[in-house]
Amino acid sequence: MKIIVMSLLVLVCHTSYAHTLYSRMSECEPNLSINGKEFRATVNYKRSDSKDDQINKVRQKLYRIISQQLNDYPNGLIEQSVLFINNSQTKQVTGTVAVKHVKRCTGKTYHITQDSLELLTAIVNKNDFPAIKFTTEYTFTPSLPEEIKPIDVDGKITHNSVFGVPLGATYEEARAKLERFSLQWPINDNLFIALIGRNHLFIFENDIFKGYQYHHSLLPMSLANQLELVTLDIELLANDAIFSTKMLLTENQKNTLKKAYPTVAFQTMHSDNETSFSKIESVQVGKLADINQLKPLPCYKNNASFNQFLTQQKEKLVSLIDVNDKRSLLTGCSQKFTLTGNNKLKEIILLDEIGNGQNNAKTINTLVSSLKPWTLDNVKYGQTASELLALGATLEWQQALLETPQWHGIFEMYDDVIYAGKIIPLALD
């Protein structure tokens, strides 16, 4: 059963439900300052038990163990991965659930309860094809490939410059100062955006830096979860004073910022029934261009090989460094091509629908709205289990496995409908 969770303004703009176990399908942001945790349970089964019976037994035991400790996690937990291992010699099934602390949730969420234990899903045998990497997966201590250096910039902002890059600078000058971006999205032949991390938007028109926007919730959660994590403390300079996004601001300080940055906005938070305080929510420098002409991103079609498509369309796609610190390319049909260190195709991630955020930039919403559902050969977003079976797929616990001469794929399902997938290419040309 799908549960749509509305955001509530309690201590921050978006909050999670307390003492809740969330499915990894949920659009939740984990608290990366706290280490994750693993829960493990083993159950015995009878020879007459079906695979479903075996899995259900270990699911129930896992949920009992986790639910007994949920009170220790006020913002709830989100499961990162589930693994079931069947030992036929001892007639035991062992289930392991890796979880992370939740910082907040926005958009769609799925609660794992006693009545929805099927959300604890994975392929059973440890030698089976590896499970999909979901958008809520994070690495606590990422190991960056040598060619991808961590972003390290001066976080100072003035009314006419950002991180040392003045308005009117060329793209090459900005790149020389900032070294690289986390994402670049072409809008049309003259306009594109670039992001640093998940909160900093740069707009370039005719290769000239025109505007910048910071927002603490700039991107829809499902898109933000695709991008690398960049820790960047920004400081706004105004009237010979420095204001950081961590500061609790007085009314006088807010007025000072408003004079220097006419588009600055604040979020008001409450510590109790009477006390409230403000922090910087968003700020804009320069102008954010209106998107009047949006050039659609190319989509991978079945009439081209993977290598042929990337060779011909690479410069027209969204380029990004993903949450696993891999170079990736995003098409207009929600297909994410993940590359190896030498820019060879590693895998293709077929993404669930990316919804618009609630507080993010109009520019981002326009771009996200242009993305179409994915297709790959005869498989497409929203297909039913029966349609996949007709194509020769094997169904196992909310996942469908399908292999063609060109690729091996795992497709994730909910209510017998596929919504995401992971493709391992077997033939690139």
266 in a structural domain? yes
Single residue among 230, 257, 286 that ends a domain in this structure: 286
Q: What's residue 46's pLDDT?
A: 81
Q: What's residue 397's pLDDT?
A: 66
Q: What is the SS3 assignment for 249?
A: strand
- Token duo for residue 29: 């942001």
Single residue among 66, 99, 119 that ends a domain in this structure: 119
User: For residues 148 and 327, what is the distance between their CA atoms, to the nearest angstrom?
Assistant: 9
Q: Report phi then psi at 408, rounded to 5.
A: -120, 125
Q: What's residue 138's pLDDT?
A: 28
- Token duo for residue 370: 């242009």
Q: What's residue 258's pLDDT?
A: 95
311 and 281 within one domain: no
User: For residues 216 and 281, what is the distance between their CA atoms, to the nearest angstrom?
Assistant: 6
Q: What's residue 15's pLDDT?
A: 43
85 and 164 within one domain: no
267 and 226 within one domain: yes
132 in a structural domain? no
282 and 172 within one domain: yes
54 and 164 within one domain: no
Q: Are 240 and 210 in contact (CB under 8 A)?
A: no
Domain around 245 = 156-286
User: For residues 22 and 410, what is the distance between their CA atoms, to the nearest angstrom?
Assistant: 22
Q: What's residue 18's pLDDT?
A: 56
Q: Are 245 and 197 in contact (CB under 8 A)?
A: no
223 and 189 within one domain: yes
Task: Tell me how crowded residue 407 is: count the other CB atoms within 10 A of its CB.
Answer: 20
Q: What is the SS3 assignment for 416?
A: coil
Mean pLDDT by 10 residues, the chain (429 residues): 29 50 82 81 84 85 91 86 74 85 82 84 36 31 56 94 98 95 96 96 97 92 89 91 93 95 88 76 91 92 87 95 92 95 87 74 87 94 93 83 87 90 81
User: For residues 66 and 98, what is the distance between their CA atoms, to the nearest angstrom?
Assistant: 11
CA dihedral 197, 198, 203, 206 (to 10 degrees): 50
Largest CA distance in the chain: 77
- Token duo for residue 314: 């690479």
The CATH number for 394's domain is: 3.40.33.10
315 and 280 within one domain: no
Q: What's residue 255's pLDDT?
A: 95
405 and 370 within one domain: yes
315 and 220 within one domain: no
311 in a structural domain? yes
Single residue among 67, 90, 119 that ends a domain in this structure: 119
Q: What is the SS3 assignment for 184?
A: strand
Q: What is the SS3 assignment for 188?
A: coil
114 and 51 within one domain: yes
Q: Are 421 and 411 in contact (CB under 8 A)?
A: yes
181 and 281 within one domain: yes
Q: Give the count of domains, the chain.
A: 3
CA 37 to chain centre: 20
Q: What's residue 357's pLDDT?
A: 60
300 in a structural domain? no
137 in a structural domain? no
Cα→Cα distances 89→47, 57, 85, 265, Å: 11, 18, 12, 63
Q: Which residues contact 96 (CB under 8 A, 6 or more apart)?
A: 38, 39, 40, 82, 83, 85
167 in a structural domain? yes
401 in a structural domain? yes
Burial (CB < 10 A; 0-12, 13-18, 19+), residue 62, is: buried
Q: Which residues contact 132 (CB under 8 A, 6 or more apart)?
A: 349, 399, 410, 412, 420, 421, 422
301 in a structural domain? no
User: For residues 104 and 426, what is the distance between their CA atoms, to the nearest angstrom?
Assistant: 38
229 and 168 within one domain: yes
